[in-house]
Amino acid sequence: DRLHGGWVVAKHPPAQTLEPLEILPGGHPLPDEGSLRAGGRVLAALNDLGERDLLVCLISGGGSALLTAPHPPLSLSDLQALTEALLTVGATITEINVLRRHLDRVKGGGLARAAFPARTVSLILSDVVGDPLEAIASGPTAPDPSTRDEALAVLERYRLRERLPASVLATLEGAPETPKPEDPLFDRVQNLLIGSNALAARAARTQAQEEGFRASLLTTRLQGEASVVGGVLAAILRQMAESGEPLPRPACLIAGGETTVTVRGDGLGGRNQELALAAVSVLDGLRDVMLITLATDGEDGPTDAAGAVVTGETRARAAALGLDADDHLRRNDAYHFFAALDDLLKPGPTGTNVNDLSFLFTF
């Protein structure tokens, strides 16, 4: 047995060569021309595989945008418009991926279908709450339990039917249904989850305990509007500071998941920065507390920051600079608020995406 070839599709391609693998750049969070070229290149090669071949896939969050092959008549610009609209109205990643699976030849088991009758083994890093395989990178090697009607229902829910190119509806109505769990092609597929938000959160809890904190995991299913979730987490942290519940000082409470942002302003930010900004007013005046929230891939929204840090002094420090946290929140402008305070987290791209983590500290 030997490796005959393959592809690495990444937003930040490695500088070194990886022979015999071909390096293909793709776009994220919106698919781009590189994503389209990569999708076509991969699908064309998979058509040549036979029953004695083995396809090994390494799949992580972000794959939905990085690798794309829209069903005709859907164009790349139409797919970009749909993705941007869904992100703007605050659709969850699960809802977004229901649509993606029915619009793209790679997704919703499409990669496995193209490789059949070859055997397929996928090693998967989950960036989706609850780790449903069909939602991670839109499930290129997983059966799709959703239907075309469910995809149309997402458009109805957010009143997007009239705002999108006509090709979106035409594709949904004309594309073949995705392969379902009972399809025999999945007898030749093995999907293995090797990393997740839960694993990262538990590792963080262990590290916090080793650093001397009383540590506990609150949840790894955090979802909802980022500004609302930020207020809730800040309220929990305020209770920890004032009453020692649910953990006395020094403490670290950890929450994982993925929130969404309904964009109403013209500012810059991401879901973690928005969550942090919503916590500023709630934590104002508290001593020896800190809320840290971050995207594990190092990139929160369309910014170069992973997230931000908030303490009980953040609001006062901002006011001294003439910044109003509530005004920045209304304008979805968390990035510039925290940049002025030098409180953005900028580790750079980490190469691993297992959703977001929030840390509630009392000292």
pLDDT in tens, 95-124: 999 999 999 999 999 999 999 999 999 999
For 131-165, how does the pLDDT look when each residue is reduced to its tens digit (9 = 90+)?
A: 999 999 999 999 999 999 999 999 999 999 989 99
The pTM (predicted TM-score) of the whole model is: 0.86
In this prediction, residue 226 carries a pLDDT of: 98
Look at the alpha carbons of 221, 224, 226, 232 in this order and tell me if their dihedral is positive or negative. Answer: negative
Cα–Cα distance for residue pair 69/71, rounded to 1 Å: 7
User: Per CATH, which fold does 197-362 belong to?
Assistant: glycerate kinase, domain 1 (3.40.1480)
Per-residue model confidence (pLDDT) at position 140: 98
DSSP 249: S
The answer to whether the Cα torsion of 199, 201, 202, 204 is positive or negative is positive
Q: What residue spans of 21-165 are helical by DSSP H?
A: 33-46, 63-66, 76-88, 93-103, 110-115, 148-157
Report the candidate in 77, 46, 43, 58 with the shortest Cα–Cα distance to residue 136: 58
Ranges of H-type helices in the chain: 33-46, 63-66, 76-88, 93-103, 110-115, 148-157, 166-174, 197-210, 226-243, 271-283, 314-320, 325-330, 334-341
Per-domain residue ranges of the chain: 6-195, 197-362
Nearest CA to 97 out of 82, 112, 81 is that of 82
Q: What is the pLDDT of residue 149?
A: 94
Query: Within 13 Å and on the Cβ side, how many CA atoms surround 133?
Result: 19
Please tell me the predicted confidence (pLDDT) of residue 1.
60
CB neighbours of residue 49 within 10 Å: 18
| Segments of the chain with pLDDT less than 50 | none
| CATH code for the part of the protein at 6-195 | 3.40.50.10180
CA 199 to chain centre: 16
Whole-Å CA distances, 84 to 27, 77, 269: 13, 10, 15
CB of 132 within 8 A of CB of 108?
Answer: no
Q: Using a CB cutoff of 8 Å and minimum separation of 24, what contacts does 8-13 make? A: 9/35, 9/38, 9/42, 9/63, 9/66, 9/67, 10/66, 11/62, 11/66, 11/349, 12/349, 12/351
